[in-house]
Amino acid sequence: MPASAVSAPPKRFLRRFRRDRSGSAAVEFSLVAVPFFALLFAIIETGIVFFASQVLETGIQDSGRLLYTHQAQDSGMTATQFKTDLCNRVSVLMSCDGIDIDVKYYAAGTTITIVDPIDSSGNYTASGLGYVTAPAGSTGTIVARAFYQWPLYVTGLGYNIANIGRNTSNSKRLLAATSAFHVEP
């Protein structure tokens, strides 16, 4: 800044500062940048969560087909083997350690009861999950479900799609996929 501008009276200095437009784009960008990038990352994270949910949904549909066609029952497939089959289908986005499965058989005509694995406190509990396949020659219904706790990063910016540990530093989105079908004899 020239020396004359510093020694000028304050009123003249402010008038000159108001007319000077150099650097205004940088100031305007700094005001808009934080909300813009927060919104951009929230959109990206939401898209990734929905994509991962679709991958899990497709994986449980494909693995459930083994139960639908009796391949799993006829070969004596265990819960670990079923989970491994599912993991091979979704390993692009998810680690197998975080996947939980729930396979339940319901005899024809019985009520199908699906229990939410998120308790009233907002915590995930896998205690009600199991692996029960259809007995030989049965024609009941099998409900196969898979769960994965997806970590979230943008939730600290006020955008929160978490359903596990909401408003904590360890918030996650529980991805759930379900496949229900009538077993062929």
Cβ partners under 8 Å of residue 13, min gap 6? 5, 6
* Contact predicate 112/162, CB 8 Å: no
| Tens digits of residue pLDDT in 11-30 | 776 676 566 666 777 788 88
Percent share of the chain, pLDDT over 90: 40
Residue 162 has pLDDT above 90, yes or no: no
| Tens digits of residue pLDDT in 33-65 | 888 888 888 889 899 999 999 999 999 999 999
Lowest mean pLDDT among 51-60, 80-89, 146-155: 146-155
Cβ partners under 8 Å of residue 112, min gap 6? 106, 141, 143, 180
Q: How many CB atoms lie within 10 A of CB 60?
A: 24
pLDDT of 99: 95
pLDDT of 78: 92
Average pLDDT score, the chain: 85
Residue 5 has pLDDT above 80, yes or no: no
Q: Is 127 helix (H, G, I), strand (E, B) or coil?
A: coil
